[in-house]
Each structure stands twice: as structure tokens, then as C-alpha cells.
A and B are shown apart, each in its own frame.
Chain A
Amino acid sequence: MAVPEVEGSLLRGPSDQKYASIERQTSAYKPLETYALEKEKHYQQQFGDMYFLRLTKLKPAVDRVAEEAWDDFHIGGETVEKVERVLDVRQGKLCWVSGTIYMEMPLKPNILDDISKDHWISAPPPRQKYLSAAGEDLIMLEDESGRLRLVGAPLSSEMLVTGCIVAVMGTENANGDFEVIDIKVPDLPPQAERWHTTEPIPDGPSKKKMKMDEDEDEDMDKPVSNGKKIAIVSGLGFSGTNLGHAVEINLLTEYLLGEALDPVTQESVSQISRLIIAGNSIALDDNAISTDTIGNTRKAHKKYGYDSSAYNPAPTKHFDDFLASVLPTMPVTLIPGYTDPANVSLPQQPIHPAMFPQARVFGRTPPKAGEEHQAGWFDTVTNPWDGEIEGWKVLGTGGQNVDDVFKYVESEDRLGMMEAMCRWRCCAPTAPDTLWSYPFQDDDPFVLNTCPHLFFVGSQPKFDTAEIEGPEGQTIRLIAVPKFSETGEVVLVDTETLEASLVRISVA
């Protein structure tokens, strides 16, 4: 057999070469607890308060944008005037007003329909899209005073979903509908600089790099990569029944451990300072559920009891094994997703470390008296999650927010939806309408008060990345993280340039 001529080939006999042990890069990391709920949760509140909170928070921002754009705006000799409330819009008068979008869609799940149909048919399967082909969808603008139906050409080109806050300019026509001429959104929130709240870790090589970067920043040059990276993976999909990608996961482990491939690659792997798992680590086992309903003789007997025989510990066991092998070499941030063993409604709370008997020793230690609260080496966090990694403000979700917006719009462009969310200043606009959410009373944490530098979303159909800019020079790196179980892909983000690259693991 011919030996391929490759520089990183280990296809040679054993030599006495000593392989130096490689040290992994440090990770500057500070999680924020924006989305952590209190221990005592109440569900008696009305969800309507969330819309009110969101509107009061975002109305000033969108009003400012609209005022700038439409101040002294004339159409046919008529000046645009601002109207405070939706109800104050007068017919035939050119005006602009801000409010919350509400999409009236016949195909959208409706709790009242559900209840009335409950008695006759089983629940309809979840829809791919709420969009009606017949064009029966209505777009409304609402605030605390009332609702206004929006019509007009600009709507067809806009991405609009329930819950986003916009300002519209136009007139009310004879039918009582509002003819939209233009639409404005709050646009990106103000962005803090890098290393806003955290300090760079004084580390030998990276400090040198930092100095270089500072010099170059003055020259307005692009930052230079020092090779330091974070890895983001999503949809590991550990399953109890289907182990179709077990080897891929093993290869991922070996790659991250720096055991696979040649010393040169291993050296570059050591630059990966952190692994972020963005949702759906445990796969849904549809099979297991269906067999349960068939073999229900035992269940009928055990009317109130918990049938422990139906529980399959394999997925969490495998996941725990994976974490336990990766954790000794790198810190892990675990964001739950739709299929993970956490609560379903956003913000999903951290998966309890007790799920991981091996990995939990790396978890957070309770802070001693007077000691500052320190993030765990193995950090199970909320979904959505925000924090600072290497000084960058990072926002990440398990993917439900984008998946739900996807159902409202015609587009397949996931990055476009992510951008829209940033410009709406709301990372989960469709909550609480079609996206399950905790009924917040005092604050809507989904509203983005500050602009992240990096916004990633897990469990997307394919990898995609882009950089968007805001009016005040804000930049956000958007990354759609693909499902590992389907693509075998891991995203590596450079911590200096925030550029994303891909590692694809496959079995031929």
C-alpha cells in the first residue's frame, strides 16, 4: 500500500520521538444571569404584561428612530405627524404611530380552538409554517389602547412577527385599515466595548497579542487572530435508541482532547479555550414513546405510580460520559435546548448537574462567605444565555427563538431572522404568543438592552455566519450553529476576529 505523502502523516514506524504535552489556552469567561429565574416561580400572572413591558421599554427607542426619519416628512403637501396611541389615528390623516405587531394567522395554534376541538380530535401535528397559502393572514399593530389592521406594499417585503415593536407611517383608509408607507424598527441597541466588565487574563502570549491589537485598533486595522478559539456545537443528539452517530461524537471528543490527528493539528486544537454546547444534546426518542403506548397494560395497573421501567437512562449516561471526558481538558458551557431535560418554556433554566454524576464534580462550587461567585468549570446555564467570553458580549440560544420566527415568515434565511431579532432588540419576539415563555411581570429579559458582539443560535439546519452593522457602528457576528447529529459540524469562533470556521467530522 502506498503511503500518502502528507506532512502531518503518522504513517510511519514508531520513533523514539518525545511528544511534548500541550497546554490549553485559558478562557476569560463571565456568565451573566440575565435569564435566570427565581427559585420560586409563579404562573398565575397574565402574559399580557410582557407585551406591555416590551412596548414601554422599546417605544422610546423606536420613536427616536422614527422621529429622525420622518421629522418634517411631506407627502403631497401634508406633513407627517406623530400620534401617541393607536386609537388616536384619524382617517385620512398622514401620521405615524408605534406599537406591537400582532399577526392574526388562521394556522397559528390557538388555545381556544385547542380546547373546543379537544373533545373530538387529537391535537394537530406541529406545523412547519403558520403562513397561510390563501393569504388569510392579517397584520395588526396594537398597543394598550387598541388594534389597527395594517395593509400596504411595504408589509410584504418586511419580516414581521408577533411581538416585535415597530413604528409605521401612513394613513387610515376608508375601510379603517392603515395604509403603511414606511416602517421603522428600534435597530441595534448600544454596544459596549470589548473587555467592558471583565479583564483580560494576564497570560504570556496572549498579553503580547493584546498589546499588538491595541496598537492596531488605533490604526483602525482589522484585529489579528492569535489563533485562540471557542468551539460551539449544537444538537449532539444523544439518544437511547439511535446511536447512528456515536463514532462521530467519539471523533469529536478525540479531536477536542487533542488525541486525534497529528501534533500540528493538536497544537491548533489546544487553542480552543472553551466548548459551548448550544442545545438539543439529548435527542427526542419518538420510538420509545410509541412503544410505551402500546405496552400500556402495566401502565393501567400503575395508575398513579411512576413506571421506572419506561425510563431510559442511556442518553444522559452517554452525554455524561462525553462531558466527563472533555471537561478535564476544557471548560464547558451547557445551554439547554428544546429536547433537553429542562423546562420547556423560555427562558429555559440550567439543566441540573445531578443529571451528570461524573461531570458534576467540575460544576460550580458554592461560594464561600465573602468570596465572589465564581462560574463553574462545567457551567450549565440558561437558554437564552448571555455572558462575556474573552471580553466579547455573547448571546446564545438553543434555537427555539429562530425556529419559531421561521414559522411566521416566508423566508428560509435563518441569518436574516437573527438579524431581524437584533434590530427588533428582542431575542424572542414570538414569546409568549407561540413560543412558550415564563409570564414575566417586572421585566422582559428578552429585550436586548445592550448589543452583543456575538450572537449564536443552535440547532439550525445548516451553518451560516455573517456580520451586521448598526447605525452607531455596532457590529454583531451572527452564527447559525448546525445540528451535529445531522451534519457532524462544529463551529470554531476566533476570539480576536470573531470569524467563524467549521470542522466537519464524518465517517466514510
Chain B
Amino acid sequence: MADYKTYLASSILTEDKIVTYRLLSRALKVNVNAAKEMLYEFHREQNGRKPGTIHATYLISGTKRKEPEPTNGAAEQDGEDTHMQSSLYFSSSMPQPEESIEESGVLSITLVREENLEEVRSQYEHITSVHVYSIGPHQLKDLQILSDITRQVRELTADDDPIETASQYGTITNKNVRRRKGTRPPPAATPAPIPTKTAPTKPKQEVKTSIPPLKQEVSSTAKDFFGKSKATAAANTSSKDKATASNISKESTPNPPNLKRDNSSIFKSFAKAKPKLKREGTDSSAAADSPAISAAEDSPMKDVSDDEEETYVPPAPANTEIVAKSRRERKENEERLKKMMDMSDEEEDIKEETPIVEEKEKEKEASPEKEVVPVVSGERRRGRRRVMKKKTVKDEEGYLVTKEEPVWESFSEDEPAPAPKPKVHAPAASTKAKKGAAKQGQGSIMSFFGKK
């Protein structure tokens, strides 16, 4: 109880701080009312010794006199009442704005500086209570500074349970208060959810160890991309075709850079599983098992995806520990993968031949305004899509005019090179075209996941 003087002296005189009754009560764990008295006593003693060293603010409550009331309410109200609409159906009991809102019914609580205390007190008709609110070494220019003390109080009591400590400080307690049980305590003052590096590595590990089926599935698809690009080279597509291809929806694009981006965006949907999966793909084809290589592979992909708006979390460099731990598992996986790859490569080769022929035949019959109707032939989805083709014509004045024209072409999901048929001109209504494009995009994603 007596050490409040030491505390106040050190805070105010030495540390040049302002102390409110709440801060004092929290610091010394005393009742707020006792804290108010302590502030008063300290203020009186210090200023008794050396006037003007301590400046206080007071909190006054009571009823104010009517005249000096600064709010313009009363005057305005009278004016308003005169042109109040006299209503026929309201006239029976038009609300009489009760003038009982006179000042006697209002409890006015005013925070006031020591210097203005007398002035404010004279505005009060009846003062019900007054106490020292804060004391500090300087005269406060702006009382709003005191709101900062509340923050300090909050910090001081951050670890306390307000319900348990309430009676200690004299806060009104409530026995009916209900709180959710078992919930974690609210986050601290700065709940900055910064993604730490440890967070991404964990799910990665999980994926690796606990979900082998998913991994296989995805890695087999990853392989598909490689297979495709190989096939692209084999197809020996012209540069013109390549330009066309780049306009086609990304999922089935054989262009190498696009392929990479596809990888990254698809892998994004698998969250943090990405780097591992990527390596699985390379493991089997290039037999490269070092984390360094996989990291190197990751970085160009990151660059690509920088163009996109999605926030890309760069994968943490592969942990050697994890690698060592799961080496055995991986070897098993590799084994399985290799088997799968061999199998599907063969399948692919067989399949690749037939659809192209089919497609060509189809194109000849195709009517120009066709909607995209994905046809599932065997395991493959087929359909039509609209692409922009460059077309150069000589106009009346003999100039060469290059136009971009929408052209329909059919495609097959696993077609490496969508052999375009520029002869097919599509005047198609734009709405139809859009629909078609959307459908097509969906179809390709479905096949991506559906591939077994």
C-alpha cells in the first residue's frame, strides 16, 4: 500500500510518464477507488512540497446547469417544434418530445484539467462525484493523449483473465458471463499471420509420406507433358502452327514455356506439394535426385508465375533430412513410376496415331458454325475450339492486309499438335464461341484430373 509513492515517484518524476488511476491500480494490483485516492495523496504531497511539479486531471460527474450547456440542442429544438407537421391521424397522440430531457436527467461526466476544474465545476448544478483521473509531470495540452494510457493498461493486463481479476480492481463482476471453452486465447496485439518457412515444409512432407496415390497420379500427368512436348517435336509443326497453338487454352498447349506455367499453376492447386512432385517427374526421366536440381527447376517457374496475380510462395529449399528419411520410399515410388511410364508411353504412342486420322476425316465434314461438343472416344475427349488465325490477303488497293480471324478447329485432349484447318471459317456468334471456349477449358481440366 505504501509503495505507491515509490511507484508514482519513479514513473512520474523519473520516467516522465503520466499515470491514470487505472494504470496505478493495475500496476499495484489495488482497487481502482484506492488508486484514485493514492493519486490524490501523491498529487497533494508533491505540490505541497514544490507547487506546480505535478499536474492532474479530474473526472467530475453530476448534473449540469442548463444555461452554460454548450450543446445547441435546446435552441434548435424550439425552432423545430414550430414547423412540426400537424398530422391528422397523429394528432390524437403526437409524441410530445418530452422536455423532461432537461439537464437534471442527464448525468454529465467530464474529464477536466486541473486548471479548468473550477470553471467546469461552476457549470455543474450538482456534483455527485469527483476524483483524480490522472497525474503527470506536465500540463496536458490535449487530453486525448490519455487514451494512450489505456493501451498501456491493456498491455499490462494482457496475460490476465479479465473475469478473474475484475473483483481485484473493483470492476463490476458478472456471474452469468459465458465464454467459449476450449478455444485458444485470442491472438496478441499484433496478430500478423506471416507465413513462416516451416509451415510450407510440413504439408510437403505429409504429401510425400502419406498420400502416395495422389503423387503417382500427378506425376504421371507431369510425364504426360513431357511426352507431349516430345510428340510436338516429332510432329514437326510449322512456326505458323505454333503461333496458333499459343493462343489455345493453356492446358493443352504444347509450347514449352506455357507448359511450365501450366505446371506451376496446376501444382499451385496442390498447394505446397509442388516441389516434390516436380522432382518425382524429373527423377524418373532424368534420374536426377539432388535437391539442388529441383530447386533450380523451381526458380524459373517462379519467374513465370510472377506474371500472374496469384501470390506465389517460393518453396523452401528441400530439406536434406527429409530427403534422407524418405529415400527408401521414393525408390519404391520410382520403381512403380517407371513401370507406369513405360506402360503409358506405349499406350500414348498407339493412341496418337489413330485420333489424328479420325480428326482429319471429321474436319472435312465439319460445318463451320459448330459448337464445341466434346466427344469422348475411348479414353479421349475430343471437341472443337475456336482459335485466332492470321490471314493475309491483298485488298483492292493492292496492300497486303493481315487479319486475325477466328477459326474453328477440332482437337483431342491428348493431341500433341492440334493440326489446324484454316480453311474452316467460323462466322460463329460470339456468345456461342465464348461458351465453347469455356466448355473446352473445363473439359481439359477434367481430363487432367480424370486421367488414370
B37 touches A14 (CB 8 A): yes
Instruction: Quote the shortest CB–CB distance from B267 to chain A (angstroms).
Output: 20
Question: Per-position contact with A for B439-450: 1 when CB-CB < 8 Å, else 0?
Answer: 000000000000
B89 touches A183 (CB 8 A): yes
Closest partner residue, chain A, to B154 (CB atom)? A321
Roughly how many angstroms separate A120 CA and B21 CA in the complex, as a whole number?
59
B129 touches A264 (CB 8 A): yes
A159 touches B85 (CB 8 A): yes
A10 touches B146 (CB 8 A): no
A409 at the interface (CB under 8 A from B): yes
B40 touches A502 (CB 8 A): no
Question: Per-position contact with A for B387-428: 1 when CB-CB < 8 Å, else 0?
Answer: 000000000000000000000000000000000000000000
Roughly how many angstroms separate A246 CA and B63 CA in the complex, as a whole number?
23
Question: Given A4-B130, A23-B173 in contact, is the A415-B95 Cβ separation under 8 Å?
Answer: yes
B433 at the interface (CB under 8 A from A): no
Interface residues of B in 37-95 (CB under 8 A from A): 37-38, 40-41, 44, 47, 59, 61-62, 71, 73, 77, 80, 83-90, 93-95
Instruction: Quote the shortest CB–CB distance from A486 to chain B (angstroms).
Output: 10
Question: Given A14-B1, A247-B146, A262-B129 in contact, is the A26-B110 Cβ separation under 8 Å?
Answer: no
Question: Given A23-B173, A304-B309 in contact, is the A246-B36 Cβ separation under 8 Å?
Answer: no
B144 at the interface (CB under 8 A from A): yes
Interface residues of A in 310-369 (CB under 8 A from B): 321, 324-325, 327-331, 357-358, 360-363, 365
Instruction: Quote the shortest CB–CB distance from B73 to chain A (angstroms).
Output: 5
Q: Which of A23, A246, A265, A464 is within 8 Å of B61, CB to CB?
A: A265
Instruction: Quote the shortest CB–CB distance from B310 to chain A (angstroms).
Output: 8
B290 at the interface (CB under 8 A from A): no
B93 touches A469 (CB 8 A): yes
Question: Given A254-B22, A377-B177, A504-B106 in contact, is the A12-B130 Cβ separation under 8 Å?
Answer: no
* Stretch in contact with the other chain, from A142-150, A218-226, A416-424: A416-424
Closest partner residue, chain B, to A476 (CB atom)? B95
Instruction: Quote the shortest CB–CB distance from B191 to chain A (angstroms).
Output: 6
* Stretch in contact with the other chain, from B97-105, B202-210, B239-247, B255-263: B97-105
Closest partner residue, chain B, to A13 (CB atom)? B41
Q: Which of B25, B95, B172 is within 8 Å of A24, CB to CB?
A: B172
Query: 10 A-B Cβ contacts within 8 A?
Result: A10-B129, A19-B170, A246-B147, A259-B22, A321-B154, A327-B177, A363-B180, A416-B95, A463-B101, A465-B101
Given contacts A243-B147, A260-B109, 20 further A-B contacts (CB under 8 A): A13-B40, A15-B37, A19-B34, A22-B172, A23-B172, A23-B173, A23-B174, A159-B90, A255-B109, A259-B171, A261-B128, A270-B172, A328-B162, A329-B177, A362-B178, A410-B85, A465-B97, A465-B101, A501-B107, A504-B109
Residues of A near any B CB (own CB < 8 A): 1, 4, 6-15, 17, 19, 21-24, 26-27, 154, 157-159, 182-185, 187, 243-244, 246-247, 249-251, 253-255, 257-266, 269-270, 302-305, 321, 324-325, 327-331, 357-358, 360-363, 365, 376-377, 409-413, 415-416, 419-420, 423, 462-469, 478, 487, 501-508
